[in-house]
Chain A
Amino acid sequence: MTYAVQMKDLAKHYRGFRLGGITMDVPAGCVTGIFGPNGAGKSTLVKLIARHMAPTSGSLTVFGQRYEDSERELRRRVTFVAEEPPFYPDKTVGWTGRFLADFYEDWDQRRFSDLLHESRIDADREIKHLSRGQKTLFALAAAFAHGADLLVLDEPVNGLDVLHRRDVLRRIREFVSDDGKAAVVSSHVTDALGDIADHVAFLREGRLALCEERDALLSRWKLVHFRKGALPQDVAGALLRVEEHALGCSGYTDDFAALRDRLEPLIASGAVRVENAGLDGVLVALVRGN
């Protein structure tokens, strides 16, 4: 497997916040979702990946290269789309396109214009008059036009209406369909991005809580519903975030395979019911835990 981004013990400290011990790999050809509650360090991590800030310690390579050695090359290959894309607000879409084109030798103006047209973005409109969704689509169009290899997005669907959200997610998926490209997307909401993420990473209080393939993660994590007292003590004790409801109890397991044999008779008897935890469930269990 080839990796778009590799991080080892990456850390960033600033007043009142510490992101630390981040060791993870972002595979090429995939969308990697970085999830976590507000203040977990997601934006800091994606800014480190896009080199919008320098790490305090640790190593980070993008396509095998360090920013320290190949800054210009990597800045050409990496596109960062902030939550509020930072174009000059008083300039028009067309002007901004020409401004960006000046920095990229292989700028594909036809592709850029087509994508703007598809997104119904008028070239004569000023950036400040675009909606947040349109600004994100504009930034994505620019990434396609200059042939970026790694797309790094910070909360791209936050506050978007359902139509723009679908367009943005479709574009991100389209981006990684090209060979060797990758996308890293941070979000505090898992529902929309969870569907397009092939790999997921969860941050909690500035630490990496887990990082793995989404399907493998979802097959491990299950939400177990059970009647009070129906589960053996050790099984109940192994569950995370056990809650009592009017109709019984529920808790999360992060290793369903280990419990399957013991739960199957109980499932058959109707005392226990198991469902997929979903990324939201995993996030809640990780953050709130026991």
Chain B
Amino acid sequence: MRALYKHHGPAFVAPVVNFLLICMRTIDNRGVFLFPLVALLLPAWITASVAWSEKGESEALLRSLPLTDREVARSKFGLALTGMILYWLLITATAVFVSLGTGHLAANIICANAVWSATLLLAGLWYVGIWSVGFHRIVPALIAFIAVDVAATTALMAAAKATRVYYVAAFSEVWRAPAPALWAVPVMLTVALLAYRALMGVAARARAKGVY
């Protein structure tokens, strides 16, 4: 198991550095309104990590090792979760830094955690898909998702900067509304982690069926 962590770890940790640069730039630009858009890049980042890790994976080798399907699922989900924890620290810190003194702290914290929770489930769903139909069949979906997410987020950012209203007024209206209470964050995270754990079980069963 330790060997699997060592082998696949870079795929989940290295992109965090890349994301850190984006977050630092957002903080540097005091991008309080841009922050939700930056957070929207997170699903693309974790999808790229899953794709990078699985591209170099040898399913036949894994099946030769004395590991149960559940253990393989646990190690892969553990890796993705490790990466996601680093992202959580990053986007939460970024949300705090960009929102300090602006009155948008709670909104941005909730936004960060909502995106993070959805992204965690997305990572689990990718594994369910990969082990259900095979990596090579999922590749087009992985690439399309990354491309659409990055392109859409970049376009939204460009539009926000060009109009200097940080995207449409309606969006600003939402942001000006009273923020949801912060207690929603631990609830959201707990639900996401429980759902992620359930997805791990589904993924392990998909592996056991061995549909490759």
Enumerate chain A interface residues (CB-CB to B < 8 A): 50-54, 71-73, 75-76, 79-80, 82, 86-88, 90, 98-100, 102-104
List 14 interface pairs A-B (beta carbons < 8 Å), by A numbering: A72-B68, A73-B66, A75-B68, A80-B63, A80-B64, A82-B60, A86-B58, A86-B61, A87-B58, A88-B61, A98-B3, A99-B7, A100-B65, A103-B1
On whether the beta carbons of A103 and B63 are closer than 8 Å, the reply is no
Which of B58, B60, B71 lies at the interface centre, i.e. has the most chain A CB atoms within 10 A of its CB? B60
In the assembled complex, the CB of B24 is this many whole angstroms from the nearest CB of chain A, namely 32
Given the complex, which residues of B lie within 8 Å of A76, measured CB to CB? 66
Query: Do A99 and B63 have beta carbons less than 8 Å apart?
Result: no
Q: How far is the CA of A53 from the CA of B3 in the complex (A)?
A: 24
Cβ contact within 8 Å between B63 and A72: no
At the interface, yes or no: B210 with Cβ under 8 Å from chain A? yes
Inside 8 A of A53's CB, which chain B residues have their CB?
Answer: 210, 212
Interface size for B (C-beta < 8 A) is 21
CB within 8 A of B60: which of A52, A72, A79?
Answer: A52
B147 at the interface (CB under 8 A from A): no
| Residues A75 and B65 in contact in the complex (CB < 8 Å), given A88-B56, A88-B58, A102-B2 | yes
Interface membership of B209, Cβ < 8 A: yes
Given contacts A54-B210, A88-B61, 19 further A-B contacts (CB under 8 A): A50-B63, A51-B63, A52-B64, A52-B210, A53-B210, A54-B208, A72-B68, A73-B66, A75-B65, A75-B66, A75-B67, A80-B60, A86-B58, A86-B61, A86-B64, A87-B58, A103-B1, A103-B65, A103-B66
A75 CA / B209 CA spacing, docked (Å): 16
**Complex: how many Å from CA A242 to CA B125?**
59
Name the one of A50, A71, A73 contacting B64, with C-beta atoms under 8 angstroms: A50
Question: A75–B64 contact, CB under 8 A?
Answer: yes
Q: B59-88 CB contact bits vs A (8 Å, 1 = yes)?
A: 111011111110100000000000000000
Among A50, A53, A75, find the residue whose CB has the most chain B CB atoms closer than 10 A: A75
Tell me which residues across on chain B come within 8 A of A103, comparing CB atoms: 1, 3, 65-67
Residues of chain A within 8 A (CB-CB) of B210 are 52-54
Q: Which residue of A54, A73, A82 is within 8 Å of B209 (Cβ)?
A: A54
A79 and B64 in contact (CB under 8 A), knowing A53-B212, A86-B58, A88-B56?
A: yes
Interface pair A71/B58, CB less than 8 Å apart: no
Contact indicator B7/A88 (Cβ below 8 Å): yes
- Min CB gap B6→A, angstroms: 8
Contacts of B66 in A (CB 8 A): 72-73, 75-76, 103-104
A259 to B58, CA, bound (A): 53
Q: How far is the CA of A72 from the CA of B63 in the complex (A)?
A: 10
Chain B contacts with A in 44-61, Cβ cutoff 8 A: 56, 58-61
Q: Which residue of chain B lies nearest to A71 when distances are taken between CB atoms in the complex?
A: B68
Chain A residue nearest to B68 (CB atoms) is A71
Q: Which residues of A contact B65 (CB under 8 A)?
A: 75, 100, 103
Nearest chain B residue, comparing its CB with the CB of A76: B66
Q: Is the CB of A52 within 8 A of B63?
A: yes
Instruction: List the B residue with the shortest CB-CB distance to A102.
Output: B3
Residues of A within 8 Å of B71, CB to CB, are: 72
Distance in angstroms from A19 CB to nearest chain B CB is 14
CB pair A86–B208 under 8 Å, yes or no, is no
With a cutoff of 8 Å between Cβ atoms, the chain B residues found around residue A87 in the complex are 58, 61
CA distance A88 to B60 in the complex (A): 10
A72 to B72, CA, bound (A): 11
**Contacts A53-B210, A72-B67, A75-B65 known; A86 to B3 CB distance under 8 Å?**
no
Return chain A residues, CB-CB under 8 Å to B61: 86-88
Please report the C-alpha to C-alpha distance between residue A61 and residue B66 in the assembled complex, in whole angstroms: 17
CA distance A88 to B59 in the complex (A): 10
In the assembled complex, the CB of A140 is this many whole angstroms from the nearest CB of chain B, namely: 13
Contacts of B56 in A (CB 8 A): 88, 90
Residues from 176 to 212 in B contacting A, C-beta threshold 8 Å: 208-210, 212
User: Chain A residues near B59 (CB, 8 Å)?
Assistant: 86
Write the nearest CB–CB distance from B119 to chain A, whole angstroms.
Answer: 27
Q: Which residue of A lies closest to B56 (CB)?
A: A88
